[in-house]
């Protein structure tokens, strides 16, 4: 459809608002890059050390989940973003020089794919991305076609825009009362722009339903477990992103655009890369149906709460923006892409998932996201990070088993199997809460290598796998997760006998810690004793991981080796090397750099290996902040301490060195129990306390329940 009367006015407006567009640089970024005309772009930033990652995180840019040991990919939305990256001294390569133009290319690829294939290899046969209405229709149809094993349900709370949020539950005899089978929860689209996360979840639901009775492995597992799929958690945000991100791109104005479509592309409504939900003001609901009237949210900035920072697990800690802007950490407060909300579980979308997990024995959970080809496991913060109790957070108590299961899933899709913090610190994430509150294993999948919503054929490849992973992919990984769901070596089992039809309730109330305080929490699940009078209930361990003993290393006393070295002025851009010989191995080597003026110096620590210098740590804090490097397990030998004048007029500087021993500490931890009640007609007939460890089978004596019944 042509809109000639509107075209000239719109083109003029876009030209004034956006300016001319020229190709983005394709070589390594330099200061000259900031002066070029700008288009939103995806860049790969060099981060050779953890200190570089920390410094990059502090710039307040839109960091993606695609990262490695020496790089992080970043979306630059404005010239100011590019300038901040350049001013930070980072080198980078441009991967996608114009994300908006790429969005139109993706739409065209999708159109061509849909025209070329009658049916895709996906279980549903779909050939293009679903809309929110498509998801709802597909879930309803799945229930109609497979009523015996599929039940569609509405989550308890509507979205801020008044929408009902749906999921499907899949399993043999799904309409009968729960009888003790564990649950696998699969979630998609916490972040609005991450369309493949919902597609992969929905396709697995279709796969299970259509394979039941035909695939022996899937049939066997669906006899032993329930699978709950919520493909779109953030329905309001997704609906905006999905509709803005495809055909509402003003391409009808291309013929009138003096820059052959560039201006009309950039004039596309700004929700295609929306990240958050539609919260406008904390604690205040908005009239239903008004979400679309909200301001644009380029790259996730703007109003809304980041749902994957709003869960209770370590809520309020590193990697999640607070309400008030933080200049030191370059956080934009409520406008920040990672704004965590005013309190844990402040949002209806996260409350829905909290309800879902609280009411079932969820022994496995996967929250799908894009992108990075990663499998992330708890915890989300570096184990050396000091937690609210002043002690290092440490690794998850089940680290070895979490890592092993991650590797088994990664063997199917080829993703990197890493901790969440190895990408960057995050708190308030889905699996950090679900794992620490219930003990059920939890992971984040970052789907796809390099785009939030790539061409749809990439979604097809990610689900089924390609190359050496053909026949595996995320489908294979999810099946590994489903097998873990029923593997009682990792869960507890309660078994015994009770009067048929009796309701057994397993409840535990507790205080869940956040980074700042704690909140009241609970789990409460039930089963109905079958006609045989015998029950077998697969459950999570009664003691939460967050209160289990944790082991960490603590620096012991004063340094056994210490040096202080004075250095003189060096010109900006130059550096001074200082050498120190460490006489014996040290558990921890700490190096500090200070100077008298409120400007910027950097510190790099090397270990001399023959004629080579091997970098072992670096620090590049914001201007006015002292630099420090901590080297664990430092071997004896010569170390070179390089003080670089990034932008300082200081007449001198001082480098301090300290070598320390550490002692291994273990927190006391505590043991928790469930309260098990036997109920009939809402009346409690019997109550007992139950402890169950991971992998333990408990035979329960419920004769008192039988007598009362």
Q: pLDDT at position 28, please?
A: 40
For residue 450, count other CB atoms closer than 10 A to its CB: 17
Dihedral sign for Cα 22, 26, 27, 31, please.
positive
Ranked by mean pLDDT, the top range of 97-101, 213-217, 448-452, 628-632 is 213-217
Q: Are residues 604 and 630 in the same domain?
A: yes
**At 696, which CATH number?**
2.60.40
How many angstroms from the chain centroid is the CA of residue 446? Answer: 8
Could you read off the pLDDT of 137-174 as tens digits, one per residue? 999 999 999 999 999 999 999 999 999 999 999 999 99
Q: Is residue 328 part of a domain?
A: no
14 pLDDT exceeds 60?
A: no
Other C-beta atoms closer than 10 Å to the C-beta of 128 total 17
Answer for the pair 187, 481: CB distance below 8 angstroms, yes or no. Answer: no
Residue entry with tokens 């697969």: 538
Find the mean pLDDT for residues 596-606: 90
- Per-residue confidence (pLDDT) for residue 331, from 0 to 100: 67
Residue 112, domain member (yes or no) = no
Positive or negative torsion for Cα 436, 440, 441, 442: negative
d(Cα 453, Cα 603) in Å, to the nearest integer? 39
Instruction: Transcribe 547-610 into DSSP letters.
Output: GS--EEEEEEEEEEEEEEEEEE---TT-EEEEEEEE-S-EEEEEEEEE-SSSSEEEEEEEEEET
Q: What share of the chain in percent tops pLDDT 70?
A: 88
pLDDT, tens digit, 9 for 90 and up, residues 490-543: 999 999 999 999 999 999 999 999 998 999 999 999 999 999 999 999 999 999
Determine contact, residues 616/675, Cβ cutoff 8 Å.
no
Instruction: Tell which of 54, 79, 97 closes a domain.
Output: 97
Are 79 and 34 a contacting pair, CB within 8 Å? Answer: yes
pLDDT at 705: 86
- Same structural domain for residues 608 and 535? no
Residue 577 within any structural domain of the chain: yes
Question: Could you tell me if 495 and 536 are in contact, meaning their C-beta atoms sit under 8 angstroms apart?
Answer: yes
Lowest mean pLDDT among 94-108, 145-159, 563-577: 94-108
Instruction: Please give the span between the terminal C-alpha atoms of the chain, in angstroms, as a whole number.
Output: 72
Q: Once rounded to an integer, what is the mean pLDDT over residues 38-45?
A: 85
In a domain, 230, yes or no: no
Counting the structural domains of the chain, the total is 3
Q: Is residue 84 part of a domain?
A: yes
pLDDT digits (tens, 9 = 90+) for 114-125: 889 989 999 999
Least confident of 87-91, 295-299, 557-561, 606-610: 295-299
Verify that 660 and 687 share a domain, yes or no. Answer: no
572, 622: one domain: yes
Matching residue, tokens 């004039």: 267
Q: What is the CATH number of the domain that holds 66?
A: 3.30.70
Residue 23: its pLDDT value, please? 32
Same domain, 660 and 686: no
pLDDT at 263: 37
530 and 568 share a domain? no
Cβ–Cβ under 8 Å, residues 521 and 511:
yes
The residue range of the domain holding 648 is 551-666
Question: Which residue in the block uniquely carries the two structure tokens 């200082």?
Answer: 578
Examine the domain organization and report whether 501 and 606 are in the same domain: no
Domain boundary among 97, 113, 147: 97
Of these residues, 143, 194, 331, 446, which one is catalytic? 446
User: Degrees (nearest 5) of the Cα angle 14, 19, 20?
Assistant: 110
172 given a catalytic annotation: no
Residue 627 lies in a domain: yes
Same domain, 662 and 680: no
- In this predicted structure, the answer to whether residue 2 has a pLDDT above a threshold of 50 is no
Is pLDDT of 428 > 90? Answer: yes
pTM here is 0.78
pLDDT surpasses 60 at 21: no
Q: How far apart are CA 384 and CA 426, in angstroms?
A: 14
**567 and 641 assigned to the same domain:** yes
Going by DSSP bridges, is the β-strand pair 183-187/697-700 parallel, antiparallel, or unpaired?
A: unpaired
Please report the pLDDT score of residue 120 as a whole number.
Answer: 95
Long-range interactions of 75-83: CB distance < 8 A, separation 24+: 75/40, 75/41, 75/42, 75/99, 75/273, 75/299, 76/40, 76/41, 76/42, 76/43, 77/40, 77/298, 77/299, 77/301, 78/38, 78/40, 78/298, 79/34, 79/38, 82/29, 82/33, 82/34, 82/38, 83/34
685/592 same-domain check: no
**In the predicted structure, residue 17 carries a pLDDT above the cut 60:** no
Task: Write out pLDDT tens, residues 314-367.
Answer: 999 988 888 887 765 656 688 888 899 999 999 999 999 999 999 999 999 999
Residue range 689-693: average pLDDT?
97
Place of tokens 């965590």: 340
Strongest mean pLDDT among 9-18, 196-205, 543-552, 696-705? 196-205
pLDDT tens digit sequence for 130-140: 999 999 999 99
pLDDT at residue 249 greater than cutoff 50: no
Question: What pLDDT does 7 receive?
Answer: 29
**Residue keyed to tokens 């039930």:** 526
Residues 114, 457: Cα–Cα separation, whole Å: 9
* Percent helix, percent strand, percent coil in the chain, to nearest 5: 30, 30, 40
Question: Is 1 among the domain residues?
Answer: no
60 vs 193, higher pLDDT: 193
Domain membership flag for residue 689: yes
Question: Residue 708's pLDDT is what?
Answer: 63
Of 61, 82, 97, which closes a domain? 97
Q: Is the same domain home to 565 and 659?
A: yes
What CATH number has the domain bearing residue 556? Answer: 2.60.120.380
Q: What is the mean pLDDT of residues 5-24?
A: 29
Query: What does the pLDDT read at residue 9?
Result: 28
| Domain identity same for 698 and 603 | no
Cα separations in angstroms, 510 against 4, 432, 444, 594: 64, 17, 25, 45
């Amino acid at each position: 459809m042509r809109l000639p009367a509107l075209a000239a006015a719109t083109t003029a407006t876009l030209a004034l608002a956006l300016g001319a567009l020229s190709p983005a640089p394709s070589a390594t970024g330099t200061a000259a890059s900031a002066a070029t005309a700008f288009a939103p772009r995806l860049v790969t930033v060099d981060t050779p050390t953890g200190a570089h990652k920390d410094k990059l995180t502090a710039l307040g840019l839109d960091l993606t989940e695609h990262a490695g040991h020496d790089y992080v990919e970043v979306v630059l939305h404005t010239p100011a973003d590019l300038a901040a990256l350049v001013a930070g001294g980072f080198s980078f390569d441009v991967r996608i020089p114009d994300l908006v133009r790429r969005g139109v290319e993706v739409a065209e690829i999708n159109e061509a794919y849909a025209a070329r294939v009658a049916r895709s290899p996906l279980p549903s046969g779909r050939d293009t991305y679903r809309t929110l209405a498509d998801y709802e229709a597909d879930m309803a149809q799945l229930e109609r076609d497979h009523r015996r094993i599929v039940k569609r349900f509405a989550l308890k709370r509507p979205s801020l825009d008044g929408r009902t949020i749906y999921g499907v539950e899949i399993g043999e005899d799904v309409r009968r009362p729960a009888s003790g089978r564990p649950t696998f929860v699969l979630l998609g689209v916490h972040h609005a722009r991450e369309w493949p996360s919902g597609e992969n979840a929905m396709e697995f639901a279709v796969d299970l339903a259509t394979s039941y009775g035909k695939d022996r492995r899937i049939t066997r597992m669906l006899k032993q477990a329930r699978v709950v799929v919520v493909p779109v958690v953030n329905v309001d945000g997704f609906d905006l992103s999905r509709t803005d991100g495809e055909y509402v791109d003003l391409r009808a104005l291309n013929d009138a655009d003096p820059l052959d479509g560039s201006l009309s592309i950039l004039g596309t409504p700004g929700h295609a890369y929306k990240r958050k939900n539609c919260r406008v003001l904390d604690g205040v609901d908005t009239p239903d149906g008004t979400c679309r009237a909200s301001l644009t949210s380029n790259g996730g900035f703007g109003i809304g709460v980041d749902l994957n920072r709003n869960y209770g697990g370590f809520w309020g800690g590193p990697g999640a923006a607070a309400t008030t802007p933080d200049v030191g950490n370059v956080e934009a407060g409520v406008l920040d892409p990672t704004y965590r909300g005013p309190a844990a579980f402040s949002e209806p979308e996260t409350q829905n998932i909290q309800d879902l997990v609280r009411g079932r024995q969820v022994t496995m959970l996967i929250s799908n996201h894009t992108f990075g080809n990663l499998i992330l496991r708890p915890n989300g913060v570096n184990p050396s990070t000091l937690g609210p109790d002043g002690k290092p957070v440490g690794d998850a108590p089940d680290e070895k088993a979490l890592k092993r299961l991650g590797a088994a899933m990664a063997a199917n899709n080829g993703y990197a199997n890493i901790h969440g913090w190895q990408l960057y610190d995050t708190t308030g994430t889905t699996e950090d809460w679900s794992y620490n509150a219930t003990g059920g294993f939890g992971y984040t999948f970052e789907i796809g290598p390099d785009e939030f919503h790539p061409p749809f054929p990439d979604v097809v490849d990610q689900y089924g796998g390609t190359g050496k992973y053909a026949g595996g992919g995320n489908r294979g990984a999810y099946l590994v997760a489903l097998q873990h769901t029923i593997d009682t070596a990792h869960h507890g089992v309660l078994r015994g006998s009770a009067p048929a039809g009796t309701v057994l309730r397993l409840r535990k109330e507790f205080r869940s810690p956040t980074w700042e305080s704690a909140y009241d929490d609970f789990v409460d699940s039930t089963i109905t004793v079958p006609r045989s009078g015998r029950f077998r209930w697969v459950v999570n361990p009664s003691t939460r991981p967050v209160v289990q003993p944790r082991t960490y290393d603590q620096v012991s006393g004063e340094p056994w080796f210490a040096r202080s070295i004075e250095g003189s002025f060096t010109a900006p851009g130059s550096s001074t090397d200082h050498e120190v010989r460490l006489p014996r191995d040290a558990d921890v080597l700490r190096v500090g750099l200070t100077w008298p003026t409120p400007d910027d110096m950097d510190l790099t620590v090397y270990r001399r290996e023959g004629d080579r210098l091997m970098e072992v740590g670096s620090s590049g804090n914001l201007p006015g902040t002292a630099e420090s490097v901590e080297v664990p397990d430092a071997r004896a030998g010569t170390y070179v301490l390089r003080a670089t004048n990034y932008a300082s007029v200081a007449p001198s500087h001082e480098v301090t060195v300290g070598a320390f021993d550490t002692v291994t500490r273990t927190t006391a931890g505590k043991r928790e129990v469930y309260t098990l009640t036997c109920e009939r007609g809402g009346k409690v007939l019997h109550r007992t306390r139950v402890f169950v460890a991971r992998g333990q089978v408990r035979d329960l004596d419920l004769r008192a329940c039988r007598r009362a019944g």
